[in-house]
Structure 1
Amino acid sequence: MSDERPVGTAEDPDLPRARAGDADAFTRLVAPLRRELHAHCYRMLASTHDAEDALQDGLLRAWTALGGFDGRSSLRTWLYSVVTHACLDAARRRGRRATPVDLGPASDHAVVDSAPRTDVAWLEPYPDALLADAAVEQREAVELAFVAACQHLPGNQRAALLLFEVLGFSAAEIAQMMRTSRASVNSALQRARAVLARKVPDRTQQRTLRELDDARLRAVVAGFAEALERRDPDGLVALLTDDVTWTMPPLPHWYRGLPAVADWARRVPLGSCGSWRHLPTWANGQPALACYLWDDAAGSHRGWAVNVLALRGDRIAAITSFLGNEQVTAFGLPAALP
């Protein structure tokens, strides 16, 4: 007979064991919640690395304080409270994560000698493999536009919005979790929604992808890769919207509109760069490509960037190129292709 008791309830034998100091029992208690807690940390911090650190910090705090868990809320609610405070502490130490759009206006022509900005904490992509079976609403809340917009919110507003809109906690629960009043939570929600209304597109990528034929989606992604590999500027431009943007953190310069994006593409990835190869992947609930650039010294194509695509209809409206071999390997993809 299968055991269908809810994990972490008073009936769960691992709860008293964990309270008594059984680390293995605590690990079993939190295991079913680990993925969703990690995604919450990413939404809060816009970095997979910071998310992992905050989750570890939060779980350590929870393990240390488990004796004080009185069971008046569910273990899930209590863990979200502890982990959220770990994220708020991390956000205060690090500051908000930025995109090139946050740093200044778009360039109207290619800047070929741009140096990486190492003094900026950049937003990072999130591998879809970490989302597992997340609900549509939770996938929408890791889309790049949403995560980037959340970084413009103060920590308390960001936490309240994510806990309410994404995770479904009530204002009363959030007030208890945040150690504040329900009125303060409602005020934070109102302010946060006003900011996101200005910064997040009306149509989510999840909705666009649901309405797009799978074959057409594959053709757009493959066409983007083929245009780069064949050095075909016309083929690339044909896939883009008129107001397309291309950003490349950690490079500070970015481009908006077909003339500027086409100039960048012709002069750099299709011009001065070497041979390209690509592997398809998914990031932030969006189609993506791991890009590999030929390296003469290595005698192979080395991982160069993860390109995350945002679509409008069947055209590419935004390209975000997260540069660095470490970005590619973070997706479980090889560092090089023969």
Structure 2
Amino acid sequence: MSTDNDLLLAQQGDHAAYDRLLRPLLPELHAHCYRMLAASHDADDALQDALVKVWRRLGDFEGRSTLRTWLYTVVTRSCIDLARARGRRAMPIDLGPSSARAVVDDAPSTEISWLGPYVGEAPHGATSPAARYEQREAVELAFVAALQHLPGNQRAALLLFDVLGFSAEEIATMMDTTTPAVNSTLQRARATVTRSVPDRSQQATARAIGDRQLGSIVERFTMALESRDTDALIQLVTEDVTWAMPPMPHWYAGLGAVGDFAAQVPMGNCGSWRTLPTSVNAQPAVACYLRPDRAPAHGAWAITVLTLRETRVSAITSFLGVQHFTALGLPTELPPIGQ
């Protein structure tokens, strides 16, 4: 059945046609919501709110734009409203200077809205020749964190233009403003993001080093953690490596601080580790399971995302919480090795 027929049927209240019409676009719409809001559960809420509005207003769609453009208009406005209500999301690096020594009694901060991992599968490739960023590049941690320093309208304009390939004229209509205003907004947004995002994306880095070497880096990281070998970890990272663990507010930068933290906390006397490889934010990641002394099993502890610079790890971001494992479809417990 054609898209035009499904659109007509959906406008007449046919739920099956509505599902057929929207289902192919849901992954990219959800990724857009995550880029705007920097938390998967916020993206779920915004997309659900937008889909309810789309269903109610579909009969008013007159075809003056493409259906995709109209959908992005509704979704983007829902995201801007939610971003305004919930505020921007932060990483530990946004809160203050790094800690020179391990903070062994660090406690989670529940007063801060933390940036969360993206557990969905971001669409591949660029949306148009005019797009500056591939869709997978635009869910990488550094890019999403940089977006959170933009007001909602700047965030939306940059994503709609540089990631999704809409024209300035289309964006002006979508955001109820003028084309010159969109161009000015884009200029300011790009200046902010360019200062924060590395020159080479993680997608480009992965292509340059190849799957085999990428897998080797992940394996070396997991072996260092499971064997609690701080020296092996230090050999794997850059001199300016950082390690952050939201919702813990402290973070560490440089070989000395990261090595001290690793030796005293994850590789200290906290228990034994098991790991599973995964992918988060279109980057290599490791699901880390901790078994404290005398515990019957390894429990979900953190999803650790690795950011690479060439063949070394330049940033380690451990998202603590069992909810991230559930969202990824990973088990929340693993038995001890040999059982």
Q: Do the structures match in fold with TM over 0.5?
A: yes
Aligned residue in 2 for 1:337: 334
Aligned residue in 2 for 1:305: 302
For 1:276, what is the secondary structure of its paired residue? Answer: strand
Structure 1 residue 214 displacement after superposition: 2.1
Structure 1 residue 213 displacement after superposition: 2.9
1: CA distance, partners of 2:230 / 2:322: 25
TM-score (norm. length: structure 2): 0.94
1: CA distance, partners of 2:259 / 2:289: 21
- 2:258 alignment partner AA: V
Aligned residue in 2 for 1:203: 200
Aligned residue in 2 for 1:34: 26
Aligned residue in 2 for 1:276: 273
- 1:52 is aligned, of 35, 44, 52, to 44
2: CA distance, partners of 1:237 / 1:187: 44
Q: What does the per-residue CA deviation read over 1:221-246, in whole Å, with 9 as the maximum and x for residues that have no partner?
A: 11111111111111110001000000
2:160 and 2:171 in contact (8 A); partners too: yes
Structure 1 residue 24 displacement after superposition: 2.2
Structure 1 residue 297 displacement after superposition: 6.9
**How many pairs were matched up?**
329
Q: What does the per-residue CA deviation read over 1:239-260, in whole Å, with 9 as the maximum and x for residues that have no partner?
A: 0100000000000000000000
Shift >6 Å, 4+ stretches? none
Structure 1 residues 298 and 30: alpha-carbon distance in aligned structure 2, compared to 1, 3 A threshold: farther
2: CA distance, partners of 1:102 / 1:214: 32
Structure 1 residues 132 and 166: alpha-carbon distance in aligned structure 2, compared to 1, 3 A threshold: closer
The answer to whether the aligner puts 1:130 opposite 2:121 as a matched pair is: yes
**Alignment of structure 1 residues 1-338 onto 2, 5 Å:** 5=2, 7=3, 12-127=4-119, 129-131=120-122, 133=124, 135=126, 137-295=134-292, 299-338=296-335
TM-score (norm. length: structure 1): 0.95
Structure 1 stretches of 5 or more lacking a match? none
- 1:131 alignment partner AA: A
2:29 and 2:75 in contact (8 A); partners too: yes
- 1:117 alignment partner AA: S
Q: What does the per-residue CA deviation read over 1:191-217, in whole Å, with 9 as the maximum and x for residues that have no partner?
A: 000101111111111111110032221
